[in-house]
Structure 1
Amino acid sequence: MATKASPQGRPRLDGVGRHIQQYHMNAETVNKKLNVLAMLEKTKGMRATILRFHPNLSEFAYKSKRTQIYSWKKRHQKLRAATQANKGSHRKIRDKGTATLLSNDLENEIVRFLNELRKEVPISTAMLTIQAKKVAAEAAVSPFSASGCWVNGLKDRYRMSARAPTRQGQQILADLDNISTGFAAHVEEIV
């Protein structure tokens, strides 16, 4: 048998290369969690329950699984409520308000504001975020944070791009003062 040739290229100076992922987060469905809890109630033994559902666990993984099952036991009321709400096949149960979104009317208000503003001034993502937080505060949507994912989703939904030019070109110092005061007054009028 021929030995495998070492790869050509520059040799690694430090480290051993890419690490193998050691931990895997496999979320169970709500129904399976409740089945495990029912088995735990029936057998009154954690080891028998774990062996029934996960027969090939190492000792370290056994301890982790036991801790996980105890956390399910603490939240069993929440799990039962999820199955009654037809969420038994879900793997995660998020608290109410975690994915709070603005209504279509509020989003349209933000888009209208930005479209009016972008006729005169190049807009940026920061301006979009600030306006979204302001509209959410006025509408009393308390846990709204205008995260980057939400901003990207809004841009996709309304086919918007927020590209502000990065360089305005050289201008005379005296003109800059006039431009900045005029710009500040214009933005103040719009807002």
Structure 2
Amino acid sequence: MKRRPSRAIPATVTALILLAAAVVVAVVAIQMLLREPAWVNYGAVAGYLHGLRWTGTAVAVAGGAVAVLGLLLAFAAVVPGAPTVLPMQGTPNSGASSRGMRSTLRAAASTVDGVSGATVALRGRRVKVRVNTGRTRPEGLADAVRAAVARRLDQIAPVARPAVSVRVRSPRKAS
């Protein structure tokens, strides 16, 4: 169970752009059929497009822009996003959301004595923990945080256990 995020944003943007273009074309066509002044002058647009050459700069720029946009949309559709649900050991359909995992690991890191704040990032098979402390000598704090996060990971029991790295931020050392 590795649920991935949907590609709703690129699909929605593409659909809205195509819908807007279709509405403009439909409105102009209806206006032309009713012999009313159109939003877009068909004769002017057709004359401009007829005057373009395949070797022209405007055609090359427009073609390049459309090709780049198409490649970006294809890339967004093919490349998998970060999993939103991480599989857990136990029943086949058990899992934890990545947000919930970050939250519980941050809480575990914050329980360590001397930690004033913590942030957790899940990156592939790594958990990166950053802790803030008011101590001027934070020796041993990183190991204590790493142990607390490891205990919590043992309780959660993910299928693929991530490696834990800890970075401690402390104020300048007293002189």
Identify whether the pair has TM-score above 0.5, normalized to the shorter chain. Answer: no
Instruction: Give me the TM-score of the superposition, normalised by structure 2.
Output: 0.34
More strand by share: 2
Instruction: Give me the TM-score of the superposition, normalised by structure 1.
Output: 0.32
